[in-house]
Amino acid sequence: MNKTLLIQNTALLASLLLAGSAFAQSVRETARETVPQVQPSLSAGTPPEGASTPGPTRTIGWEQLIPTGWDPYKDLKALNLQSLKDNDPKADEALKKMRQMWDNAPINPLILGQNVRLPGYLVPLEDLPEGLKEFLLVPYFGACVHSPPPPANQIVHVKLDQAVKRFRSMDTVWVTGTLSATKTDSHMGVASYRIDAKLVTPYSEKK
């Protein structure tokens, strides 16, 4: 194994797990703190378990995409990062294990089929003359571009009927449309969700 790669993997693993309370405590807390500052709630009128209600558009936050009780670090808590050396193969193994677990992160079935409005950062999947027809929506700046992809349940694949030209990579936007559990494996990351977008608008704090 290339030593440079091992050094990179050790540093990457450490940065993902120990980069501060905003990320290391849980993906749920990360979503609240790094998404554009909106704290919507589904507490009023939330459908019962197993229900799928298209109905009125609901403004949601990234924490609603995570099923209750899911711990993204469960299988890695036994790993002592302090003991890892720059040339330790365990760093590479741990990184691969975490990536596999995150790429198969579970969804929250309670919000599927609903019309939702979700804020986030735009990651283009194409560069067409007519504009964007699909992109990834992520909860924090740099995800999938300047830093590794977050768990798949924190990435949404957005598809539009008509291309739009006004947006660039890492623009903050509101996406409105129907949420489904459609897994997409792209060159930028794995998404557990898809929104068939009716509307994509620049982000603002107005609800």
Predicted TM-score (pTM) of the model is: 0.74
Amino acid at 150: P
Q: Please report the pLDDT score of residue 79 as a whole number.
A: 64
| Dist. CA 207–CA 205, nearest whole Å | 6
Q: Please report the pLDDT score of residue 92 as a whole number.
A: 77
Listed as ranges, residues in the chain with pLDDT below 50 are 1-11, 14, 18-53
In sequence order, the 6+-apart residues with CB closer than 8 A to the CB of 115 are 54, 55, 56, 57, 58, 176, 177, 178, 179
Q: Please report the pLDDT score of residue 91 as a whole number.
A: 75
Q: Give tens-digit pLDDT for 84-95.
A: 666 777 777 777
Q: Please report the pLDDT score of residue 31 as a whole number.
A: 37
Domains of the chain, first to last: 1-34+72-104 (no CATH), 109-202 (2.40.50.870)
Residue reference for tokens 């924490």: 63
Q: Please report the pLDDT score of residue 190 as a whole number.
A: 97
What are the CA-CA distances from residue 142 to residues 86, 110, 174, 175, 207 (Å)? 25, 28, 17, 18, 24
Q: For residues 40, 42, 45 and 46, what is the CA-based torsion angle, rounded to 10 degrees?
A: 170
Residue reference for tokens 């449309």: 177
Q: Please report the pLDDT score of residue 71 as a whole number.
A: 84
Q: Please report the pLDDT score of residue 84 as a whole number.
A: 67
